[in-house]
């Protein structure tokens, strides 16, 4: 069932992956830590998560259902978080 939902989410998302982690220069390790946290602790399939190097978190516009950005100083900024998407779609991955 999780595979079916994953495929649906992949096909339903116009922008590519529904979860995006952006990071400024020098923050790839921290971005990888957040990605692994989503995969291991929340059991979200890695195919639903993408990571991108960007110039500046402040210039980032919403492109995904859940979008995080890690600044040069290590601060985490939530660019967008669609509560309905999180509540209705992602909760199945954490279900026992």
This prediction's pTM: 0.76
Q: Distance (Å, rounded) from C-alpha 7 to C-alpha 11?
A: 6
Q: Which residues pair with 8 in a beta bridge?
A: none
CATH code that applies to domain 2-94: 3.40.50
pLDDT at 24: 95
pLDDT at 50: 94
Across the chain, which has 96 residues, the per-10-residue mean pLDDT values are 51 66 95 94 90 89 88 92 81 65
Spatial CB neighbours of 83, under 8 Å, sequence gap ≥ 6: none
Distances (CA, A) of 57 to 15, 28, 86: 18, 14, 22
pLDDT at 95: 59
Parallel, antiparallel, or unpaired for β 66-70 and 76-81? antiparallel
Q: Distance (Å, rounded) from C-alpha 92 to C-alpha 96?
A: 9
């Amino acid at each position: 069932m999780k595979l079916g939902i994953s495929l649906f989410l992949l096909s339903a998302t116009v922008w590519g992956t529904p979860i995006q982690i952006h990071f400024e220069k020098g923050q790839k390790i921290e971005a990888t830590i957040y990605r692994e946290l989503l995969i291991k602790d929340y059991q979200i399939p890695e195919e639903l998560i993408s990571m991108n190097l960007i110039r500046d978190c402040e210039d980032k516009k919403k492109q995904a259902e859940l979008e995080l950005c890690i600044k040069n100083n290590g601060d985490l900024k939530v660019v967008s978080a669609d509560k309905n998407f999180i509540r209705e779609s992602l909760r199945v991955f954490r279900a026992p």
